[in-house]
Structure 1
Amino acid sequence: MVAKIFSEPVQVANFETDLHGDINLQYLIDTIVQVSEDQSNDLAVGINRVQQAGATWVVIQYDVTIMRLPRANERLEVSTQGSEYTNNFARRNFWARTTDGQLLVSVTSLWVTMDLKTRKMVKINPEMVTPYGSERVHRIGRMQKIQKLPSEEVISTNYPVRFSDIDFNGHVSNTHYIGWMVDTLPFSFLKAHRAVGFSIKFADEVRYGDAVTSRATVLPAETGYDWSVHQILVQEQVSATAQIKWENLE
């Protein structure tokens, strides 16, 4: 059985874009996740149904390949597929295409279910994945390995966690992490570069009232691309790590 692919038309709003007129990375993830939520609701396994069973979905990692970032006011077709799962992990794929079918962005993501009371990972309930047509497998392929943050030349920025940062799971929405990470980089670097891919891995929850530190460094260019490496910390505890691949526009 082939897992179902669900697609929706999307238009990029001006407020979702950056200085270059491209969708920013936080809104890119927001957009694709919304399509997966719409699929879940369409199949009657939306977040309310999952939480009624005492659990919720939590993303562990996104691996994102960018052929071209969608532009302001551009119309897209965004598709998603809950492709496979094991007892503990589920893989979901996403694609963003132009209206004439050109692939712009491809995303692989890894998810778990978390008990709402204990905040611990629990086994995936097959009833919550069967409607997607997801394949039951013994093992899911590895995600991208993220480089360690070097100790030298680290940029650091602090962020307070606001009420508007909190999502329906009671913690900071994971898309805010990539926003904090990008905003830590210097304006001059961001003005001269465009992201062509990234991986972000989530390690721990961030909650209302936490003081967040975003740390980053830019690595020397290799094969024509720059890389930045990132950490999100709360009281020196790592909550997320990431690496972003950048194209130099100059």
Structure 2
Amino acid sequence: MSFIQTDTYALRGYECDANGLLSIPALMNFMQESANRNVIDYGIGINDLAQRGYGWMLMRFGLRMHQYPHYGQHIRVITYPTFVEKYFIHRDFRVLADDDTLLADARSTWLVFSTEKRSMVPMPDFIRTLTPPADVDSLPKLTLKPDFQAIPVVSTETQSVTVGWFDIDQNQHVNNVSYVQWLLEAMPKEMLQTSELAELDVIFRNESHWPDQLLIRADADDALTFRHRIEQAETSKDVILARSRWR
């Protein structure tokens, strides 16, 4: 049996930015909540995996913002798995207005890890037998190795952040939304005030935990395109790499 999750969210004030538009972290939280509800229907929710010694981890995330909804507006988040492979499962998201205008879409790639060894494992059989919906128009899969990851982010300007208790999730590592919020907060002040995010492409490389110290860097490819890196302050290991495009 296959499942498509559809949830309606009314945008509250604390989910909007200084311009009264839906914030990217709030949108990602909506997407994550809808994805969680969808995997529960499939019997592979967080608690289902935890009982077997596994956890979900986001590896890739690609977001396109077509139009930003505003405070008080209702949006629909639709999500479903698209492809199941030996090591990865792919998931699409679509965000619609009341009149079915496409506000945003996103692609994601997830893996399963051992909570004991904290390392990736092949997709267990009880997940690999999952049946994605057949009557959907799936977005193309994200590449496992995006081109921007091969270009060093060498900016000497850094911002530091200490992982807080409320940044970690049930898998005992930093939630992906916290990383994106930190990445966006580190953007130049003028960019945040005068532009809006159009696209975001992220690859998650390593876990971080409470209370790790992280460093955030960004390099500009041009006036509206940036590459980002979040690294462990102590080891210099990549935590995430990303590219953002603005308009």
Q: Who is 1:69 aligned against?
A: 68
Q: Does 1:183 align with 2:185?
A: yes
Q: What is the percent sequence identity of the aligned residues?
A: 22
**Are the aligned partners of 2:108 and 2:142 in contact in 1 as well (CA < 8 Å)?**
no
Q: Could you report, residue by residue, the CA deviation over 1:136-175 in whole angstroms, capped at 9, with x for unpaired residues?
A: xxxx6625433534435x5311111111111100011111
Q: Who is 2:94 aligned against?
A: 95
The one-letter amino acid paired with 1:168 is Q
Match of 2:175 among 173, 194, 203: 173
Q: Could you report, residue by residue, the CA deviation over 1:6-61 in whole angstroms, capped at 9, with x for unpaired residues?
A: 21111222112212222222221111010011112233332111111111111101
**Are the aligned partners of 1:50 and 1:128 in contact in 2 as well (CA < 8 Å)?**
no
TM-score, length-normalised on structure 2? 0.89
**Are the aligned partners of 1:12 and 1:71 in contact in 2 as well (CA < 8 Å)?**
yes
Stretches of structure 2 that go unaligned for 5 or more consecutive residues are: 135-140
Q: Who is 1:242 aligned against?
A: 242
Q: Who is 1:16 aligned against?
A: 15
**Are the aligned partners of 2:84 and 2:130 in contact in 1 as well (CA < 8 Å)?**
no
Match of 1:228 among 226, 229, 235: 226
Q: Could you report, residue by residue, the CA deviation over 1:78-127 in whole angstroms, capped at 9, with x for unpaired residues?
A: 10011111110110000100011111111000010000000110111232
> How far did residue 187 of structure 1 move?
1.7
CA 214–150 in structure 1, closer or farther in 2 if over 3 Å, else same: closer
Larger relative strand fraction:
1
Q: For 2:172, what is the secondary structure of its paired residue?
A: coil
Q: Who is 2:138 aligned against?
A: none
Q: For 1:39, what is the secondary structure of its paired residue?
A: helix
Q: Who is 1:151 aligned against?
A: 154
CA 141–191 in structure 1, closer or farther in 2 if over 3 Å, else same: closer
Cα RMSD (Å): 1.9
> How far did residue 217 of structure 1 move?
2.5
Q: Who is 1:46 aligned against?
A: 45
Stretches of structure 1 that go unaligned for 5 or more consecutive residues are: none
Report the more deviating stretch, 107-116 or 24-33: 24-33
**Are the aligned partners of 2:64 and 2:105 in contact in 1 as well (CA < 8 Å)?**
yes
CA separation in 1, counterparts of 2:5 and 2:84?
Answer: 17
The one-letter amino acid paired with 1:67 is H
Q: Who is 2:216 aligned against?
A: 214
Q: For 2:217, what is the secondary structure of its paired residue?
A: strand
Q: For 1:48, what is the secondary structure of its paired residue?
A: helix
The one-letter amino acid paired with 1:170 is Q
CA separation in 2, counterparts of 1:201 and 1:209?
Answer: 22
CA separation in 2, counterparts of 1:134 and 1:89?
Answer: 17
CA separation in 1, counterparts of 2:52 and 2:147?
Answer: 33
- Structure 1 residue runs of 4+, over 4 Å off? none
TM-score, length-normalised on structure 1? 0.88
> How far did residue 228 of structure 1 move?
1.5
The one-letter amino acid paired with 2:94 is W
Say how many residue pairs are matched.
Answer: 237
